[in-house]
Structure 1
Amino acid sequence: MSEPAPPIPAPDETLDSIGTAGVRVLQRRSGYRFTLDVVLLAHFAATESTSTPGPMLELGAGSGVVSFLLVKQFGFGPVDALELQPAVYARLERAVALNDCESRVRPLLGDLRRLRELVPGGRYAHVVSNPPFRVAGAGVRSPDDERAVSKSEVSCDAGDVVTAARYALMPGGTVSLVYPAARVAEVLGLLTQAKLYPSVLRFVHSRVDSPATRFLVQALRDRDRGLAVRPPLIVHGEAPGGYSTEVAALMDPPLAERGPTLPSD
């Protein structure tokens, strides 16, 4: 007789909602938790993509928010969701059933630096990633391993993410990334060196008069069509929850009232 499935959520977990399509994810109360970046990335990837519809790959899926949003809110997929940490992966597996996405989101456990051992090259039309932001050795490392791996480049760096995306993409496929604004020159350089040519760039600002905190970039494999710089994306404004109209439209009312915010680090 098989053991019963663990309760949803477990005592050390929370069950959280995101987006306008009823996406629900499991997160550890004291571990790394998703931020608004995942919503902005999913929307950016879905609305800016010009490549042929086809299978997608999320690198570093975490709780699976981006994958679930792409499938349920934006009608993309199927998505293979790659996650390195076994405990995080286990929550992602449970969330697939929770969101009725068994046929549309496939969890994969593994290291993006060893992607060749996990999936065939040139398979995906789209790759998305909300990778670790902080350069290894910069700042104080979190004593919590889950947070450290998710936030800092202790298990992979930007070059690893770009290399994995290049391997996974079919010719003409797109990769969409979100990174701190201060790393824009570095990341665009890495993409170009890998012949993933930046095609769309958008900076994210907390408020209309604030410096950029993030940037969203989409690049095409082997096709240089020039770079389009979109108008700034402003997070906070006069819409529900204190968000701008654009951002508030991506989230359901309960989340707009509680609202995750862009972290400062």
Structure 2
Amino acid sequence: MPDSLLQPGPDETLDSIGTSGVRVLQRRNGYRFTLDAVLLAHFAASESVGHGGTVLELGAGSGVVSFLLVKQFGLGPVDAVELQPAVHARLVRAVALNACESQVRPVLGDLCRIRELVDGGAYAQVVSNPPFRLADAGVRSPDDERAISKSEVACDAQAVILAARYALAPGGTVSLVYPAARVAEVLGLLGQAKLHPRVLRFVHSRVDAPATRFLVQAVRDKDRGLSVRPPLVVHGSGPGGYSAEVAALMDAPLAEQQGD
């Protein structure tokens, strides 16, 4: 790939994340990754019940989760499915930028049509940081990229979970991050798909604040019981104002620049 394509365009930024030098290209005024991507990658890696195997990311966006899984946490290879052609094009460039050609495979397509994109039962793990907002909740962003990335206008939680079910091998795991207010809905959808929740962890902005997110990992076809992990607290007295746990996942310069 020409070096010129690895540089940000006039409407793009080149951003770093994590402790392993991951870099991604993002639209300056489009949807941009959040800390949720780092927390999801760490959760999926730390709760991994198997060793090795191909990973599928649904709704990969700029590729943050895929690159972190490969470079920071040693998982993969990863197939990264992204619906939006312009976002996918930046993901392709980022694969070269991170020298991950043999580890991350960008796939352009709609997860609602997962059977046309990947083989069923082919993946040891599925991860997704999906659109959080219900399609009819609040005002839709006039920017299509932001709207599709943040709101369930192109897919909903059920579609993500059914795609994960199709892609996973028996005993494979799916890891998701969602707003805390949707925990009952998402756990119910997982159960209906015979993806049995095995690990649940709530994310709190501060130690005395209500949960804002939850991380869940579920297993295809095997009900091993549910373990609820201690709360994950984002902000504290660590570098950059993060808790020690979160600061350990971030480069110090990034931690000083980014908030929750």
> Structure 2-normalised TM-score?
0.98
Map of 1:207 onto structure 2 = 206
Looking at structure 2, the residues matched to 254 and 104 of structure 1 have their Cα atoms a distance apart, in angstroms, of 27
Contact 2:6 2:93 in 1 (8 A): no
Judged with a 3 Å threshold, the aligned counterparts in structure 2 of structure 1 residues 110 and 258 are, in CA distance, closer, same or farther, namely: same
Looking at structure 1, the residues matched to 237 and 2 of structure 2 have their Cα atoms a distance apart, in angstroms, of 50
Contact 1:51 1:174 in 2 (8 A): no
Quote the offset at 1:7 in angstroms: 5.6
Looking at structure 2, the residues matched to 4 and 126 of structure 1 have their Cα atoms a distance apart, in angstroms, of 33
Contact 1:121 1:169 in 2 (8 A): yes
Gaps of 5+ in 2: none
Looking at structure 2, the residues matched to 188 and 164 of structure 1 have their Cα atoms a distance apart, in angstroms, of 16
* Counterpart secondary structure, 2:106: strand
Looking at structure 2, the residues matched to 84 and 28 of structure 1 have their Cα atoms a distance apart, in angstroms, of 16
In the TM superposition, structure 1's runs of 4+ consecutive aligned residues that sit over 3 Å from their partners are 2-7
Quote the offset at 1:183 in angstroms: 0.2
Map of 2:147 onto structure 1 = 148
Contact 1:14 1:28 in 2 (8 A): yes
Mapping 1:110-259, distance limit 5 Å: 110-259=109-258
Amino acid at match of 1:230: R
Looking at structure 2, the residues matched to 139 and 204 of structure 1 have their Cα atoms a distance apart, in angstroms, of 23
Mapping 1:14-29, distance limit 5 Å: 14-29=13-28
Looking at structure 1, the residues matched to 52 and 171 of structure 2 have their Cα atoms a distance apart, in angstroms, of 11
Looking at structure 1, the residues matched to 25 and 78 of structure 2 have their Cα atoms a distance apart, in angstroms, of 18
Quote the offset at 1:53 in angstroms: 2.0
Range 122-131 or range 2-11, more displaced: 2-11
Q: Percent identity?
A: 79
Contact 2:40 2:215 in 1 (8 A): yes
Range 246-255 or range 51-60, more displaced: 51-60
1:75-129 superposed Cα distances (whole Å, 9 cap, x missing partner): 0000000000000000000000000000000000000000101111000000000
* Counterpart secondary structure, 1:33: coil
Quote the offset at 1:259 in angstroms: 1.7
Quote the offset at 1:51 in angstroms: 2.9
Range 45-54 or range 124-133, more displaced: 45-54
Q: CA RMSD in A?
A: 1.2
Quote the offset at 1:5 in angstroms: 4.8
* Counterpart secondary structure, 1:6: helix
Quote the offset at 1:3 in angstroms: 8.7
Judged with a 3 Å threshold, the aligned counterparts in structure 2 of structure 1 residues 124 and 163 are, in CA distance, closer, same or farther, namely: same
Range 51-60 or range 167-176, more displaced: 51-60
Contact 2:5 2:93 in 1 (8 A): no
Map of 2:100 onto structure 1 = 101
Judged with a 3 Å threshold, the aligned counterparts in structure 2 of structure 1 residues 198 and 11 are, in CA distance, closer, same or farther, namely: same
Looking at structure 1, the residues matched to 5 and 48 of structure 2 have their Cα atoms a distance apart, in angstroms, of 38
Gaps of 5+ in 1: none
Looking at structure 2, the residues matched to 53 and 176 of structure 1 have their Cα atoms a distance apart, in angstroms, of 16
Amino acid at match of 1:75: G
* Counterpart secondary structure, 2:5: coil
